[in-house]
Amino acid sequence: MPTPVAIQIPYRPYAVCLPTNLMTPDGFFIVNMGLQFIEVQITNASNTLLKNVRVYIEGISDPGVVYGSGVQTVGDVPAGASFPVRFLGNFHDATPGTAMISLIVEADGFTFRRVLKKLFITRVDYHKPTRTYSVVMPQGTMRIVIHRAIVGPESERCKEDRGGFIALIKDVSYEWVPTPPYEGVRGPFPYEDPWWKIALAILAALLLLGALLYDYFSDGDLDGGMVSVSGTFEETDPSVSCCTSVSSSATDTGDWVARGLYAAAGAAATAAIASDGPDLHYRGQAATPPGQGEKTLSEKVRLHIEYPEAPSPGRKFPIAGKWQYTRTTNAKVYTYEAADERENLHWLESYEVDAPAVHDRLSGPLVIRARFKKPDGTYYTGGSLYVSAVLVSTYGVARRFDLKDHGMAFDAKANDGWYSGGYTFKVGNPEMAATHASAERYDRPGYWYLFVFAQDVNTVLQGTSPFDAAHTIGGFVLTSQLELSFEKPCQLRHDAVIQVV
């Protein structure tokens, strides 16, 4: 009698942003972004090859999420391999909170297996008169005010017709109003995670949206009213000096490569001081136990961030913060202050990219591979990383694809630390390449610049206690192509140049 196919989905599904092909901070699905990919890593938990693996979404509990039906055919999956599957979803009408997704996995010779996972969904609104961002969740409302930020670049190569989009937060406060007020040291957790982690995700989402939507946020009702990010801070410092030294040949038309990395920089910096490690909010709560019978009406954190070095993503940069936690109860106000010095935890010892110097379009797909060494000297393997690549032409076209360590297709062996992927150049009619429409159907010969991005994934297992879960955050860019600077032009470095003939 057939048994259910032996697969596991150990980690939660994550969102992948369409324009950048990068994972969103901590994998959160962001209502404001509308369309995004739902990606999930599935592991063959058996010791045999699974043949003709197929996956589809049975359903999503939030009827506001619109997703594509149909079956994704994965193929044969080696024993122990982890493979990603992605579906396009529209979250424009989703409700912030958690939703359940049911995935059906099938393979020849086995009965199907149903796996239920949680999707974490957030939404950012902006109240223009008070310059307050907010997100409403079942457990309460969070309000965030960015008092001071570094914004840039506002001119130079990066879109002179638009305002700045990179935002490194320097002074921020967030306030949580629990519904209803609670007794004791800690209240219920939105998303079943501590909410300061959610604050981080929201801040990161702001930064991401600022970059991706190019400085526009919802004004609260998603009715088309939008607010420019350049006017959403109380004060701004001089811009990060960026872009002027970026190779002008390695620029995609939409500037998505750089914009995705700027968003990653802001998220990583905020995470480094606010949430990674023993976080400030938890300590603030512990240091301000309310009296018996008192009910906490609100909690507020004000955080001042100092950047001893420019916080380039994927680097071990230091960061310092001074913060004050304030608990307001129905009886009195409690405060606790502290200062922290931290380092970014999301970086690599090194990484290697194998790519040919010359590629003939008629010889088949371009295949590249890469591996990523952790600070402890070991390599990331399998589903512990989300790896994507982008090829940028000299004429502004970008081609994106993923690299996987699953022993299938372009990848020789599962879990060996080498992530492989490929791209088949489109060889069409060169005469048609001049038109915009045909640019999508034809790839010109010439030099193409390769970027390979690795992002860590949230490896929290379902059922992990919220406090423990809060100390594992994923979605941060580990590779170091973008070097920010306060004093000299930033650098955006490609990983390889390929002459395509």
Using CB under 8 A as the binding rule, whether residue 463 contacts other proteins is answered as: no
Using CB under 8 A as the binding rule, whether residue 58 contacts other proteins is answered as: yes
For the bound state, the minimum distance from the C-beta of residue 69 to other proteins, rounded and expressed in Å, comes to 4
Nearest to 146 by CA among 306, 342, 302: 302
Using CB under 8 A as the binding rule, whether residue 1 contacts other proteins is answered as: no
Q: Candidates 49-57, 127-135, 212-220, 373-381 — which segment interacts with other proteins by CB under 8 A?
A: 49-57
For the bound state, the minimum distance from the C-beta of residue 3 to other proteins, rounded and expressed in Å, comes to 16
How do beta strands 113-122 and 29-30 pair?
A: parallel
For the bound state, the minimum distance from the C-beta of residue 275 to other proteins, rounded and expressed in Å, comes to 28
Contacting other proteins (CB under 8 A), which of 49, 79, 112, 367?
112
Asked if residues 328 and 178 have their Cβ atoms less than 8 Å apart, the reply is no
CA 8 to chain centre: 23
Contacting other proteins (CB under 8 A), which of 8, 46, 90, 102?
102
For the bound state, the minimum distance from the C-beta of residue 100 to other proteins, rounded and expressed in Å, comes to 6
Contacting other proteins (CB under 8 A), which of 54, 92, 148, 493?
54
Using CB under 8 A as the binding rule, whether residue 66 contacts other proteins is answered as: no
For the bound state, the minimum distance from the C-beta of residue 45 to other proteins, rounded and expressed in Å, comes to 18
Contacting other proteins (CB under 8 A), which of 35, 88, 116, 432?
116
Contacting other proteins (CB under 8 A), which of 88, 100, 286, 338?
100
For the bound state, the minimum distance from the C-beta of residue 91 to other proteins, rounded and expressed in Å, comes to 16
**Residue 37 pairs with which residues in a beta bridge?**
16, 88
Q: Candidates 68-76, 205-213, 254-262, 370-378 — which segment interacts with other proteins by CB under 8 A?
A: 68-76
Using CB under 8 A as the binding rule, whether residue 56 contacts other proteins is answered as: yes
Please write down the HEC assignment for all residues of 432-496.
HHHCHHHHCCCCCCEEEEEEEEEEECCCCCCCCCHHHHHCCCCCCECCCCEECCCCCCCEECCCE
Rounded to whole angstroms, the Cα distance separating 104 from 189 reads: 29
Residue 462 in tokens? 């379902």
**Residue 207 pairs with which residues in a beta bridge?**
none
Q: Which residues contact 82 (CB under 8 A, 6 or more apart)?
A: 41, 42, 43, 44, 382, 383, 405, 406, 414, 415
Q: Which residues contact 149 (CB under 8 A, 6 or more apart)?
A: 167, 168, 169, 170, 171, 233, 235, 236, 237
Using CB under 8 A as the binding rule, whether residue 88 contacts other proteins is answered as: no
Binding site for other proteins (CB under 8 A): 54, 56-63, 69-71, 100-102, 104, 106, 112, 114, 116
